[in-house]
C-alpha cells in the first residue's frame, strides 16, 4: 500500500499490485466518493482512480430538494454501486447507500435497546405506519402508550404527522420489515 508521507522518492518497484490495479466494484457495495459536477439529470461522482459514476435524480429521492441544490464539486458523498450504466458511466445510488446505513443504524438501536425517533405517516386498524430513518415501519396498537378512555381511532389519528420516540422491536431486512414499540419508554 502506498504511504502518503514518505521522504524518499517513489520507485516503480515499490508499488504493489493493489496500488496499480484498477479497483473493481461490486453491485451493492457502498463507496465514499466526491461530487464532480451537478447535471440537470443527476450528479456525477468520482469514486476513485479516475472512475466516475452517475447518480440519476430518481436514485436520490432521500436527499431533499434543498440538499440537492446545495451539492457542490468536491463534496463527499456515500453512494452504492448499482451495476447498470447511465450512458458511459456506472450507475450509482444515493438512496440505496442511505437505506443500507439506515438498516445498520436500526440494527444498532435494536442491539443496544436505544430510542429512535420516527415520523408517524399514517394509521390503519392495527396501529401506526411510520418513517424511521427513511425506512417504512409499523407500530402495533398494543405497543403504543395507553390512553384510557380515549377512542382507539382518535388515538391513532392524533398521532399522524407527529414525531415520536420508539424502541426497535423487530427487524427483518430481507422482508423489509421494521416493527417499533413504545412499551419500553412508558
Domains delineated in the chain: 23-97 (2.40.50.140), 111-181 (2.40.50.140)
Q: Give me the pLDDT at residue 2, please.
A: 36
Least confident residue range of 81-95, 102-116, 148-162, 170-184:
81-95
Q: Give me the pLDDT at residue 7, please.
A: 55
Give the pLDDT confidence of 63-115 residue by residue, as tens digits. Answer: 988 998 899 999 999 999 997 776 678 899 999 999 999 999 999 999 999 99
The mean predicted confidence, pLDDT, of the chain is: 88
How many residues are listed for the chain in this entry?
186
Q: Which long-range contacts (CB under 8 A, 24 or more apart) does 175-181 make?
A: 176/136, 178/106, 178/132, 178/135, 178/136, 178/137, 178/138, 179/137, 179/138, 179/139, 179/140, 179/143, 180/116, 180/118, 180/130, 180/132, 180/137, 180/138, 180/139, 180/143, 181/139, 181/140, 181/143
Task: Enter the pTM of the model.
Answer: 0.76
How large is the average pLDDT for residues 107-134?
97
Percentage of residues in the chain having pLDDT higher than 90: 68
Task: Show Cβ contacts of residue 20 under 8 Å, excluding neighbours closer than 6 positions.
Answer: none
Residue 68: name the closest of 55, 81, 80 by CA: 55
Amino acid at each position: 500500500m502506498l504511504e502518503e508521507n514518505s521522504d524518499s522518492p517513489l520507485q516503480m518497484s515499490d508499488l504493489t499490485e493493489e496500488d496499480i490495479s484498477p479497483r473493481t466494484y461490486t453491485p451493492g457495495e457502498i463507496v465514499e466518493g466526491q461530487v464532480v459536477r451537478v447535471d440537470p439529470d443527476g450528479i456525477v461522482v468520482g469514486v476513485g482512480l479516475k472512475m466516475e459514476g452517475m447518480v440519476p435524480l430518481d436514485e436520490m429521492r432521500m436527499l431533499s430538494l434543498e440538499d440537492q441544490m446545495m451539492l457542490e464539486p468536491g463534496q463527499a458523498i456515500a453512494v452504492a454501486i448499482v451495476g447498470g450504466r447511465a450512458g458511459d458511466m456506472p450507475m450509482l445510488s444515493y438512496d440505496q447507500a442511505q437505506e443500507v446505513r439506515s438498516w445498520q443504524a436500526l440494527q444498532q438501536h435494536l442491539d443496544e435497546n436505544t430510542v429512535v425517533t420516527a415520523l408517524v405517516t399514517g394509521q390503519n386498524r392495527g396501529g401506526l405506519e411510520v418513517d424511521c430513518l427513511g425506512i417504512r415501519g409499523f407500530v402495533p396498537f398494543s405497543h403504543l402508550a395507553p390512553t384510557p378512555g380515549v377512542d382507539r381511532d382518535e388515538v391513532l389519528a392524533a398521532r399522524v404527522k407527529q414525531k415520536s420516540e420508539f424502541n426497535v422491536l423487530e427487524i427483518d431486512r430481507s422482508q423489509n420489515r421494521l416493527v417499533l414499540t413504545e412499551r419500553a419508554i412508558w
